[in-house]
Structure 1
Amino acid sequence: MKFIAILTLLFAPCVAFAQTSPSTLARVTQSGVLRVCTPGDYKPFSFQRAPGEFEGLDVDMMGSLAGTLNARPELVKTTWANLLPDFVAGKCDIAAGGISVSLERQKQAYFSAPYMVNGKTPITRCEDVAKYQTIAAIDQPNVRVIANPGGSNERFARAKLSHAQLTIHSDNLTIFDELTKGRADVFVTEAAEAIVQSKAHPELCAVNPDKPLQYAEMGYLLPNGDDVFRNFVDQWLHLSKANGDYAQLSAKWLGK
């Protein structure tokens, strides 16, 4: 009995700490600030117009989430390569901006419930659409594939298009100029971005965006182990879809 009592005394502080350790939910509510990591280079989800000025579907959604917590959103600029390291280091409370759900990211962080199915879709010059209908057609030695570094687009290109000529282009926003100017043939990205950028660049066309080359989901990155905050975010997202708020914002940024 004495042994059990000693163990109880030893572990009691740890249990108490685990029970009283504040959730992100409590911290955001108390501080009045929701810190959001975002690369800010991915239309229509998050785009940095100027220092400190962001716009996009996920920017508006984060504003909605912050509002439910009586907080203001604070956008923390990162890159795709540094997104997970910055998030794990505690630089933000949530990450958004067109983030693909992946098992690799799941190893170090939670994901919210997915808010969009958004699979990998090629974008190319309109006259070349017929050439690049499948992975096999793109994965050829004479095809110049371009990708942005550090995210799921680069991983897809390296895993599925290893026979093509791959160029890693550091600026996601100017990749589309590389295509229009004929310095690259294909960029494989998410369907939503391919559709939006084909509207912004009439020379470019999304290839079968309704039938992606690979299934993918979008979600928000959340602190690992924080079930309280994840449950709150999932419930907020559920209600946003149920009451039409998400549909309204989606129509604003995606046209659907």
Structure 2
Amino acid sequence: MNPFVKNTFAGIAFASLSLMHTTASAAEPTIETILSNGELKVCFEAGYIPFEMKSKDGRYIGFDIDIAKLMARAMKVNFVPVNTAWDGIIPALQTGKCDIIIGGIAITPERNLKVMFSNTYIEIGQTVLLSPKLKDSVKSYRDLNDSKYTVVSQVGTTGAIAAKKYLPKANIDLFETSADAVLQVSNGKADAFVYDLPYNALYASQHQDKVYHLDSSFTYEPLGWAIRKHDYHFLNFLNNYLVQIKKDGSYQRIYDKWFKSDAWLSSIQ
């Protein structure tokens, strides 16, 4: 063989092996770090009812919190909550402040360019909380697509994305938290609040005199667990773990606790 060709093949083979080694190394650190530190650091933003909330006695509770604690127990490590502002939650993951986002984060193409997602663990959609004075004139989210209406949501959420996409003629006003945004409707300062169905359904049940719920979802949003890119070992674990808890009944018990019962409401009121 021509020495030049031989050396070229050798160089390509070496580069390929180096790339494989780099990829393998990049796929394993999170699992190794979790196990060696004995901690699963989980990012979320408390206040997303009933996924993650803060109880009256200062504990983090909710559907996602129970899922995360169960996962930590399966890994034989401690659950470490990392309560993070929503607009900084992906950067927090990327910079290693947490190992995973288990916080009601919808899988979108834009986010998927920045992080990897597990398989969908729950599906939701956007609905509208309406000012009661409009319930006879606004029958669908489409009716809000008018410059005479002010529609609010939380910055950086799929609610904000949906409001801008489907209601381009309305005045869109975004707030740092969902609580601040929905309060604008409750206080009569905005006409409608666009946000996730579970949150809106619960809020409407608690504030029937302040808001009216248009409860038909107008978007489809799969939620997933987010991890850093190229972390295939961790991704494999998560997808298999999700299958396991859905088959053994653990997932359903947690789901029923937070979505089919309101016994937990006394913990946050």
TM-score w.r.t. the length of structure 1 is 0.89
1:245 equivalent in alignment to 2:253: no
Q: Which residue of 2 aligns with 1:160?
A: 166
Partner of 1:202: 208
Post-superposition offset of 1:110 = 0.9
Distance 2:146 2:53 in 1: 32
Deviation at 1:14, TM superposition (A): 4.5
Match of 2:134 among 128, 145, 169: 128
Identity among equivalent positions (%) equals 22
**1:218–1:19 CA distance, 2 compared to 1 (3 A):** closer
1:117 equivalenced with 2:123 (yes/no): yes
3-state SS, counterpart of residue 81 of structure 1: helix
Greater mean deviation of Cα atoms: 81-90 or 188-197: 81-90
Q: Is the 8 A contact 1:191 1:206 kept in 2?
A: no
* Cα shift at 1:50: 7.6
Return the alpha-carbon distance in structure 1 between the equivalents of residues 134 and 260 of structure 2: 25
In structure 2, the CA distance between the partners of 1:19 and 1:144, relative to structure 1 (3 Å rule), is closer
Secondary structure, aligned partner of 2:120: coil
Q: 1:223 aligns with which of 219, 225, 228?
A: 228
Q: List runs of 5+ in structure 1 lacking aligned partners.
A: none
Contact 1:122 1:132 in 2 (8 A): no
Name whichever of 244-253 and 58-67 sits farther off. Answer: 244-253
**Alignment pair present for 1:190 and 2:199:** no
Are residues 131 and 229 of structure 1, via their aligned partners in 2, closer, same or farther at CA, if it must alter by over 3 Å? Answer: farther
- How far off its partner does 1:129 sit? 3.3
Distance change >3 Å, CA 243–CA 207, structure 1 → 2: same
Number of residue-to-residue matches in the alignment = 254
Q: Within 5 Å, give how 1:1-256 maps onto structure 2.
A: 1-9=6-14, 12-21=17-26, 22-49=28-55, 53-126=59-132, 128-203=134-209, 204-208=211-215, 211-255=216-260
Deviation at 1:127, TM superposition (A): 5.3
Measured at CA, do residues 207 and 76 of structure 1 come closer, stay the same or move farther in structure 2, by a change above 3 Å? same
TM-score norm. by structure 2 comes to 0.85
Could you list the per-position Cα deviations for residues 72-91 of structure 1 after superposition, in whole angstroms to 9, with x for gaps in the alignment?
A: 12111222211222222222
Aligned pair in 2 of structure 1 residues 186, 218: CA closer, same or farther (>3 Å)?
A: same
8 Å CA contact 1:37, 1:95 repeated in 2: yes
Distance 1:18 1:170, change over 3 A: closer
User: Unaligned stretches of 5+ in structure 2?
Assistant: 1-5, 262-269
**Structure 2 SS opposite 1:34:** strand
CA–CA distance in 2 between the matches of 1:110 and 1:10? 26
